[in-house]
Structure 1
Amino acid sequence: MNWDDARVFLAVQRERTLRKAAKVVGLDQATVGRRIAALEHALNATLFFRASDGYALTPAGESVLKAAEKMEQSAHELARQAQGVDNRLAGEVRVTTTDSLALAFVIPAIASLHAEHPDVRVQLSTSTQMLSLARRESDIAIRTQKPESPDLVARRLARWRVGLYATEHYLRRHGEPERGTGLSGHDLVLYQPFLSGNSRPTLVGEPIHAGRIVASVHSSLMLRAMIRADIGIGEVPVHMGERDGLVRIWPELSRGSAYEVWLVTHQDLRHTARVRAMIDAIVARFETED
C-alpha cells in the first residue's frame, strides 16, 4: 500500500460514503470506488462491508487501518517539518474557529495580515467541530478548550466571566427575574450542549426548572442573536454581552466556569513565517480588546 492508497482508504473509513470521501481527497466518486476495489484486489482481502448506512471496516480493514494511520502520521510529520522552516511570507494558512470568534477577532486579524502581507492566503473554517492539527486539517485553531496533546502549543488569549443577559426591551416586558424562583415566568435560550449533559442545567448557578426553554442552539453567535431578538434570556461571556449592548442580570453572579479562548498550533509549524504572521495578527486583535 502506498500513501495515495492509504489516503483514499482513510477517507472512506472516516466519511463512510464514497461521495464524501471523494470530496475529502479531491477525486470523483467513481475513482474512489475503483481505488478501493484495486486496493482490495492487491491485498487479496475485503476491507469494507457495503451497508445501507455506509461503508464499515471488516476485520481485515481494521488491521489495515493501523498501518494506514501510521503512514498518515509520517506523511503529515514530514510536511510539517518541511513547512516549519519555510521563511516565505506567502502561501496558505488554514485557521479554524467558531463563527462568533471569527467575526469579532479572526476576520479583523485577517484584514490586518492582508494589509501587511498580501501574498498570504487564509483559509478560514468556522465550526463547532474541532479540526485536527495533527492531521493537518488546520494550521491554527482558536478554541475554547485547552488541548492535552504534548505536540500542540497553546496560548490563552482570553478568560472572560459568563453572565446572564437580556435586552432592555425584554426586561421592560417581563421584569427582572427573582433569584431563587427557578427563573419562573421567563423565556430562556440555551446552549444545546448544556442540555445534553448529565447534570441539571442552570444559568449562572440558578436552576431553570420553572422557566420556559424557547430555543437551544449549538452556536454562541446564534445564542447572542436570539437574546438580541428578545426571544429570551441566556448566558453570554461578559465581554461579548457588553459588545452587544445587552443588559446584565444579577451582575454579582457568574457561571462557575469562565469562557476561555486558546490559540493552538502544532509545534512543528509555529516558526513558519506565514503561520507566525497570522498568529501575531490574531494575538494583537485580542490584545486590543482587553
Structure 2
Amino acid sequence: MNWDDLKIFLAVARARKLSSAARTLGIDATTVSRRIERLAADLQTTLFEPSAGGQTLTEAGGRLLAHAEAIERAALAARADVGGERGLLSGVVRVSVAEGFGTWIIARHLGAFRKANPEIIVELIASSGFLNPSKREADLAVMLARPTSGPLLARRLTDYQLHLYASPAYLQGAPPLTSLADLRHHVVIGYVPDIIYSPALDYIAEIRPGSSPDIASSSINAQHALAVSGAGLCLLPRFIGAQDARLQPVLPEQVSLTRSFWLVVHRDTRQLARVAAFVDWLVKLIASEKALFLD
C-alpha cells in the first residue's frame, strides 16, 4: 500500500469531491481518481460510491479511514518531535456551523486566523443544518445542542440571546406594540415550521403561542434581510440584530430567549494540531466577543 495514495484517499474522504480534494492537494482530479482506483485495486475492495453529495465512503472505506488517520497522526507526531510544531500547522480543517454564526461571527474574523496560520485551509460550511463530526463529515462543528452519542468531545462554547427586532420603517406604519399580546396584529418572520433543523429554533410559539410565522424562510440571513426591508418583526440572535444599526430591538424586556452553542469535535480529530489550533482560536474569539452574545 502506497502512503501517497493514502494521503489522497484522506483528502477525498474529507472533501467528498474529487475536484475539491484535487485543489487541496495541488494536483488534477484525473490523477486523484486514478490513485483512488489504484488503492482500491490494491486492497481488492471499493472505497467510495458516487452520490448526490459527491463521494461517499463504503463500509470498507470507513474502516480504511480510521487506519489512515491513525497513520497520519503518527506521521504528524513524528514531524513535531523531530522538526518542531510549525510543521503540524498545515492541511484542511472543515468546520460546520449554523448559517448565522458562520456569517456574522466566524467569517468576519477568519482572515485573521488565516494570516496567523497561512498553511491551514479552512472550509467553512455555514448552512441550515450540520455536518456530523461523528461520521467524519466535518472536523468540528458548532451545534445548537449537545450530542448524546458518538465518539465526540463536546463543550458549551457560549450562550446567546435572541431578541425581537424591526426596522423603524416597519414600526412607523404598524399597529401599536406595547405587549406580547399585540404581536397577533403584527407580521412575524421566522423559520419554515416543517423543515426546522433543530428544536432550538422553534421559538415563534414561545412569543406568540398557537401560531406560525407570517413570513417564513429556512435562512436566518434571509430573515434578517426581510426585517431590514421592513417586512415585519423578526427574532434574531443578538450577534446579528445588535450589529445592524438599521434594526432596533422591540419589547426587549419581554422578549429575551436564551440558547447555546456547543463546540463538537471527534475524539481522534481533536488531537490533530490544525484542528486544535482552530479550536483554541475560536474559543478565544468567542470570549473576546462576549458582549455580542449576551446583554
Give the shorter-chain TM-score range: 0.5 to 0.7
Alignment check: 8 A CA contact 2:180 2:254 kept: no
Give the counterpart of 2:214 among 212, 215, 225.
Answer: 212
Which residue is 1:29 aligned to?
Answer: 29
Cα pair distance change 1:142/1:84, threshold 3 Å: farther
Counterparts in 2 of 1:62-211, with a 5 A limit?
62=59, 64-78=60-74, 81=77, 87-88=85-86, 91=89, 94=93, 96=95, 97-98=97-98, 100-101=100-101, 104-106=104-106, 119-121=116-118, 123-124=121-122, 125-128=124-127, 129-130=130-131, 132=133, 138=139, 142-147=142-147, 152=153, 154-156=155-157, 158-176=158-176, 179=180, 184=184, 186-192=186-192, 194-197=193-196, 203=204, 205=206, 206-207=208-209, 209=211
Which residue is 1:282 aligned to?
Answer: 285
Counterparts in 2 of 1:198-277, with a 5 A limit?
203=204, 205=206, 206-207=208-209, 209=211, 212-213=214-215, 215-218=216-219, 220-238=220-238, 240-244=240-244, 245-249=247-251, 251-255=253-257, 258-263=258-263, 267-268=270-271
Distance 2:90 2:271 in 1: 16
**SS of corresponding position for 1:231:** coil
Distance 1:223 1:73 in 2: 40
Cα pair distance change 1:55/1:151, threshold 3 Å: closer
Cα pair distance change 1:185/1:67, threshold 3 Å: same
Distance 2:280 2:61 in 1: 36
Alignment check: 8 A CA contact 1:13 1:56 kept: yes
Q: CA deviation at 1:282?
A: 1.0
Counterparts in 2 of 1:31-50, with a 5 A limit?
31-44=31-44
Alignment check: 8 A CA contact 1:167 1:246 kept: yes
Greater displacement, 194-203 / 279-288: 194-203
- CA deviation map 1:137-181 (0-9, x unaligned): 55x65544445566536353x312323322222122222567568
- State the structure with bigger RCO (CA 8 A, min sep 6), 1 or 2: 1
Distance 2:275 2:12 in 1: 31
Distance 2:88 2:66 in 1: 30
- Bigger helix fraction: 2
Alignment check: 8 A CA contact 1:153 1:267 kept: no
Distance 1:17 1:271 in 2: 21
Aligned-residue Cα RMSD (Å) equals: 4.9
**SS of corresponding position for 2:227:** helix
Letter in 2 for 1:120: N
Greater displacement, 168-177 / 145-154: 145-154
Alignment check: 8 A CA contact 1:189 1:233 kept: yes
Q: CA deviation at 1:242?
A: 3.3
- CA deviation map 1:173-217 (0-9, x unaligned): 222567568x5554343234x53159895515124647532x403
Cα pair distance change 1:36/1:152, threshold 3 Å: same
Distance 2:111 2:37 in 1: 46
Letter in 2 for 1:212: D
Percentage identity across paired residues of the two chains: 23
Cα pair distance change 1:19/1:208, threshold 3 Å: farther
Cα pair distance change 1:21/1:281, threshold 3 Å: closer
Greater displacement, 64-73 / 268-277: 268-277
Q: Gaps (5+ residues) in structure 2?
A: none
Greater displacement, 48-57 / 70-79: 48-57
Which structure is larger by alpha-carbon Rg, 1 or 2? Answer: 1
Q: CA deviation at 1:136?
A: 9.9
Q: Report the TM-score when normalising by structure 1.
A: 0.64
